[in-house]
Each structure stands twice: as structure tokens, then as C-alpha cells.
Amino acid sequence: MNRNSKIYVAGHRGMVGSALIRNLQSKGYQNIITRTSSELDLRNQTAVADFFADEKPDYVFLAAAKVGGIWANNIYRADFLYDNLLIEANIIHSAYQNSVEKLLFLGSSCIYPKLAPQPLKEESLLSGYLEATNEPYAIAKIAGIKLCEAYRSQYGCNFISAMPTNLYGPNDNYDLQGSHVLPALIRKFHEAKISNHPFVEIWGTGSPRREFLHADDLADACVFLMETYNDESFVNIGTGEDVTIRELAELVKETVGFEGELRWNTDKPDGTPRKLMDVSRLHSLGWQHRTDLQTGVSATYQDFLRNQEVYV
């Protein structure tokens, strides 16, 4: 990319897309195209085709997706599969038809088998059964990876894929029914603190281990890959470090200043026992994360306090 390249960021209002916009602008990229979901329904093949034909972007960051936590993934299984398949298929195909120079597709660490060896290596894809609770979302993301590989193989398209670990940061989803674990904990502990509630209930046993990457670090890695990486193999993006959900809860509790107790609802699912990314491929390319978890959670809570009227 050069500073005058026409860059389309799909999903620019989300946590990842907005972080991409901030990172690109900080690096001097100004010719950035965006559309809200009301302006362009990415599930509509004709609308997406017309958009690409009119705008002719040079580069595409495919960060648009229907996302959510365990509850949302498990309840809205058809929506998560259908919407994500349509979004990625429409954008990838239109990128090919309009000779986009390069596209970056963003997947998810849930693409890996539930019991894949830890840390998760890129080579483990399709080596076993998926976690049942988010299988539809995972299948959609695997399809996106394979679409990029297929368009590269058949048409020579420079389409690459990156698999981020669990993310957090500004513009996250704080809805308690649809959010991921970290924003849900921030909201739960904050509301319990404000209402002087004696305890906070958390799903599961607290034993699963998870890795967390700040959205601004992800955006920096994505721009780095777009500028420097052109291989077929997808790349994990993470920190290479994980914590238990119990440790995460204690960190958020301390950050928020909640003084009550934690209650673990063991009738609720834990999900995958561990999800830690092997990031040796990314490190070998010359990129590493910058934001440690404590610093990131503190900054994210301050962002929540400033914007809770929007988030809640």
C-alpha cells in the first residue's frame, strides 16, 4: 500500500474496524472508504457488487462480521452461519471481479478444533472436531479462509487471512446477552459496584484459559501484514500469553474497584478448555504486541466510563 491507495475497511464501526481506521490514519493513509450497514447491506450480493464497481478500492480489510459470545453463538446458530457466509463471499468475490490488489480476511481463533494441541498452530486447522457452542461461526470463518485460498489458487488473487485471538478495546459490545467475556465482566462489575451488589455471578468454573489481545494491537498487526505479507498460509495474531477466566475476573474486579464476591455458575458452559495461539509465524515476520493485559483492561474500562451511554 502507499499513502494514496484507496482502502476499503468493511465493518468500520465495530471494534476491529474502528481500530483499523485509527491505525491507518495514524500512519498517513487518508483515502479510506467506509459504509455503514444501513448504507450497504453486505449480505446483499447485488449491492456489494455495485459498491465495488463504483468505488474500485485498491485494498480491502474484511473486518465485517456477525459476532458474539457463547450465548449468542449457541442460540443464533443459523444467523451466525448465514450472515457471515454471505458477507465474506460477497466481498471476496467482488474484490476478485474488480481486480483489488490485495485483501485481508479476518477470521477467529474458534476455527481450531476444540481439543487441538496447545498453543494453537496454523497447521491444526481441520484436524479435529470444533467446539459445539460456536461451530456455525467457526465454519463460516473456515469458509472465508478457504475462499481466499481458492481465489488465490484459481485466479492469482493476493488474498491473505489472519486469525486473531480474543479481542477487547474501544467500541466493544457490552450487551450481556451477546458480548464476549471481557466486556461482559467489565459491565457486570461496574454495575455491581454502582448498585452496591454483594456479588457478581460468572458463567462456568473459571478454569478455562484464554488469551486476550487489544484491538489496537490487532489493527497494527493487520496493517503490518497488508504492507509486508503475501503468502497463502494464514497467520495467527495474538500475544502468546494466556490467563484463566478466574484470573481475568480478579483483574477486572480490581480494575473496576468492586469489593464484593465472585460466584461461579457451574451449570453454565465453560466452552473450549484452552485457546492460546502459537504466534511464532507472526513473530518471525517481525511483529509483536505492545499492550499488556493489565494496561489494556485499565484503558478499556476508562473508555467504557467515557462512553457507557453509547455502549449500554
At position 192, the amino acid (one-letter code) is A
User: Would you say 158 is a known binding-site residue?
Assistant: no
d(CA 263, CA 94): 49
User: Would you say 13 is a known binding-site residue?
Assistant: yes
User: Would you say 23 is a known binding-site residue?
Assistant: no
User: Would you say 248 is a known binding-site residue?
Assistant: no
Q: Is the peptide bond before 119 cis (omega within 30 degrees of 0)?
A: yes
166-182 b/e (C-beta count within 10 Å ≥ 16 → b):
bbbbbbbbbbeebbbbb
User: Would you say 270 is a known binding-site residue?
Assistant: yes
User: Would you say 141 is a known binding-site residue?
Assistant: yes
User: Would you say 56 is a known binding-site residue?
Assistant: no
User: Would you say 16 is a known binding-site residue?
Assistant: yes
d(CA 310, CA 173): 10
User: Would you say 14 is a known binding-site residue?
Assistant: yes
User: Would you say 11 is a known binding-site residue?
Assistant: yes
What DSSP state is assigned to residue 285? Answer: H
Whether 270 and 134 have beta carbons less than 8 Å apart is answered as: no
User: Would you say 226 is a known binding-site residue?
Assistant: no
| Distance (Å) of CA 32 to CA 1, 20, 248, 269 | 12, 10, 36, 41
The C-alpha angle with vertex 19 and arms to 91 and 233, in degrees rounded to 5, equals 50
Known catalytic membership, residue 96: no
User: Would you say 108 is a known binding-site residue?
Assistant: yes
CA nearest to 281, candidates 242, 232, 219: 232
DSSP H helices, 120-214, are 135-155, 181-195
Whether 2 and 227 have beta carbons less than 8 Å apart is answered as: no
User: Would you say 106 is a known binding-site residue?
Assistant: yes
Q: Which of 8, 112, 137, 229 is catalytic?
A: 137
The C-alpha angle with vertex 101 and arms to 98 and 103, in degrees rounded to 5, equals 90
Q: Which residues are annotated as a binding site for substrate?
A: 188, 203, 210, 270
Q: Which residues are annotated as a binding site?
A: 11-17, 106-109, 141, 164-167, 180, 188, 203, 210, 270
Residues noted as catalytic = 137
Q: Which residues are annotated as a binding site for NADP(+)?
A: 11-17, 106-109, 141, 164-167, 180
